[in-house]
Amino acid sequence: MQRFNACKLLALCALTAALGVMASCDTSADPADGGDSATTQSDDPKAAIRAFKDKYAGDRYAKEDRPIHALAQSGADYVNSMRGSYACTSCHTIGPGSGNITGPKLTDVADRYLKVFGDDATRTRIWLHNKISNVNEFPGMNTAKYSKGLMPVMHESYQPMEIEAIVEYLMSLAK
C-alpha cells in the first residue's frame, strides 16, 4: 500500500511540475536568460560575443600570455642540445638582445619569412623545415652574407619530427 501512495504522490508532483512549466511559458520571461539575473540580454550578437569573451576568456588569449605548445617546448630543448659537434645555438643566437654570430639570429626568423610569404604560416613552416633540413638546397635571405658550407645538413642528425618541433619553436617566437 505504501508503494501505491508513493506513486500517487509522484504523479501529483509531476503534474504540479508540468503545470508550473506551462505557467512559466505564459510569462514574458526570456528562456535564453537561463535565470541568471546578472546576464544582460542584448539583440546585438557581437555584443553578446564580446560579453562572453570578457566573462570567460578575458586576457587569457593575449599573445604575451599564450602557453608554449608542447612540441615547441621540445624544439626549444633541441636547439640547445648538442648533436655531433654542434648545437644550433653554437652558431645562432635565439632570444632577446640576440645578434648574428656564425649564423643569422633566429629570434625573428619566423617573422622575417612570414613577411616573405605574405603571412602564410604553412608556407613559412615548410620553408623553415626545408632550410633546416638542408641549408644548401634552399637559399634564403641571408645566404649571400655567409660563407658556404658552415651549417651542417641537419636531416642527417635530426629526425623529421625533431625538425618539426624546432620549426614550431621558431614559429612560437613570431610576434
CA–CA separation, 111 vs 119, rounded Å? 9
Choose which of 16, 40, 81, 143 interacts with ligand HEC (CB under 6 A).
143
Q: Please count the residues of this chain forming the interface with ligand HEC, following the rule CB under 6 A.
A: 26
CA–CA separation, 74 vs 80, rounded Å? 10
Among residues 48 and 140, whose Cβ is nearest to ligand HEC?
140
Could you tell me how far CA 29 lies from the centroid of its own chain? 40
| Distance in Å, CB of 67 to ligand HEC, minimum | 22
Residue 88 and residue 166 in contact, taking contact as beta carbons nearer than 8 Å: yes
3-state class of 47 per DSSP? helix
Looking at the chain, list the stretches that DSSP marks H as alpha helix, in order from N- to C-terminal side: 2-26, 45-52, 70-80, 88-91, 109-116, 121-133, 160-172
| Distance in Å, CB of 109 to ligand HEC, minimum | 5
| Distance in Å, CB of 158 to ligand HEC, minimum | 6
3-state class of 85 per DSSP? coil
161 binds ligand HEC (CB under 6 A): no
| Distance in Å, CB of 107 to ligand HEC, minimum | 10
State which of positions 78-137 bind ligand HEC (CB under 6 A). 79, 86, 88, 90-92, 102-104, 106, 109, 128, 131-132, 135
Residues in touch with ligand HEC (CB under 6 A): 79, 86, 88, 90-92, 102-104, 106, 109, 128, 131-132, 135, 139-143, 146, 150-152, 154, 166
